[in-house]
Amino acid sequence: MPRRALDNPIVLPVLGLLLEQPTHPHQMLTELRRRSDAHAAAITRGTLYNTVATLTEAGWLAPLERQRSGNRPERTVYALTDAGREELVRRLDSQIRTPKREFSQFLGAVAYLGALGRDGAVEALTERGRRLRQRTAEDERRLDEALAAGVPRMHVIEAEYALSLARAEIAWVDSVTEELRSGALTWPTGAAREREGEDA
Amino acid sequence: MPRRALDNPIVLPVLGLLLEQPTHPHQMLTELRRRSDAHAAAITRGTLYNTVATLTEAGWLAPLERQRSGNRPERTVYALTDAGREELVRRLDSQIRTPKREFSQFLGAVAYLGALGRDGAVEALTERGRRLRQRTAEDERRLDEALAAGVPRMHVIEAEYALSLARAEIAWVDSVTEELRSGALTWPTGAAREREGEDA
DNA sequence: ACTCTACCAGTCCAAATAGACTAATAGAGG
DNA sequence: CCTCTATTAGTCTATTTGGACTGGTAGAGT
């Protein structure tokens, strides 16, 4: 009975974190959010506690001990089981091996770029380019700092990947912006009518 | 009272589709799934009907007419309102203008690449490269066909974008694979111990 | 003409999620 | 020393979601 919960996107980050050391859910939350630059986009409390419970039922993690300081809520520290470690490796392997189509907001929006009208599109894309460049420069700086400080490359490998894609996106945005400006990329008639309509 | 439902990822595809012409929910579902290569990753019935209801309450679309053929369930055709069109443009503009960090499964998995061990990582990455190349070649073929058939570039612009990113990913995967093979990218000690453990 | 399968179009509910709320403690500032 | 705020950990519920289920129609095969 493969519960849907076991498919949710925070399973991997949770297993990954527990690979490092046992922790209790609240700490996972704090830690995952702290690192959120790298993984674990949106982790919410409900989902996390729920996921931990389901993973425990599945036998991939086990409560290690319960701690209590003073009269605070008791907290349960969980550790990865052997089965959990195997599962992590299985998932890792399959997610790396098999590319899946995923959809960014931007991809969805670009499909309707026409609705912005040529000028609107140029404006918005230019701005995106600017922000991407700024953010990417910042990321590059941080990465260089980490490497200079002696962090092994394997530990920042996902930042390298993210940077590669970011650079590709910048290149694409710049080239399309330029083509729109120069008129090399023209508006099809239908959408052009659309745009005229805006001002009429 | 900004209902959460208005933030859900299928709002844009729905508004976008209605920009073309009025339709009823079932047809939206069919159509969005048909095109799903481009946008609208996972649209499910419940979400769609729910979203349409919420968008209607918000005044962004309005029931145009109710049709009934024979004794089939009555179906309601919805059309975009003026407010809806404005909202679409607003969202489009903001989603293009403002890059947001989004997380692919792959990005999440790469962070733990170390847990696969060097050979496992090389294996999995090689396979990913192979599949990406294959899929990308296929996409390129389809895009060229469309262009050759006279489809305006603006109508396939999101495919061009997706291809750019795919090529960048291939390049990255290839280069990391190669670095791992050649030993230019080495395993840090901690993870190396991890890997030895697997065989012991 | 008569089953049988595939498609049409929705409704509806169990499962999952977001995030408000609870309840306790430690330390800052007066 | 006493109040006030930030932090620690969790529980709990209203919304949302996935997708099973319903009840009908159109053709295909016999």
Which bases of strand C sit closer than 7 A to a protein CB? 8-13, 15-20, 23-26
- Residue B41 has a pLDDT of 63
φ and ψ of B65, to 5 deg: -165, 160
Residues at the strand C interface (Cβ < 7 Å): A 3-5, 8, 42, 44-47, 49-51, 69-73; B 4, 24-27, 30, 45-46, 49, 69, 72-76
- Residue A97 has a pLDDT of 96
pLDDT for B107 beyond 60: yes
pLDDT for A181 beyond 60: yes
- Residue B192 has a pLDDT of 44
In whole angstroms, how far apart are CA B18 and each of A140, A153, B15? 41, 48, 5
What's the gap between Cα B2 and its chain centre?
25
The residue ranking higher by pLDDT, A189 or A14, is: A14
User: B187 touching A, CB under 8 A?
Assistant: yes
Average pLDDT of the segment spanning B125-130: 98
pTM equals 0.88
CB B170 within 8 A of CB B132: yes
Average pLDDT of the segment spanning B88-97: 96
pLDDT for B151 beyond 60: yes
Euclidean distance between CA atoms B32 and B12, whole angstroms: 11
| Coil vs helix vs strand at B66 | strand
| Coil vs helix vs strand at A30 | helix
Q: Which two tokens stand for residue A42?
A: 């949106």
The residue ranking higher by pLDDT, B22 or A39, is: B22
CA angle A50, A54, A58 (to 5 degrees): 170
Average pLDDT of the segment spanning B123-135: 98
- Within 8 A of B16 by CB-CB distance, chain A residues are 111-112, 115
Euclidean distance between CA atoms B149 and B142, whole angstroms: 11
pLDDT digit string (tens) for B135-147? 999 999 999 999 9
Q: Residue closest to D25, CA→C1'?
A: B72
Nearest chain A residue to B11 by CA distance is A108
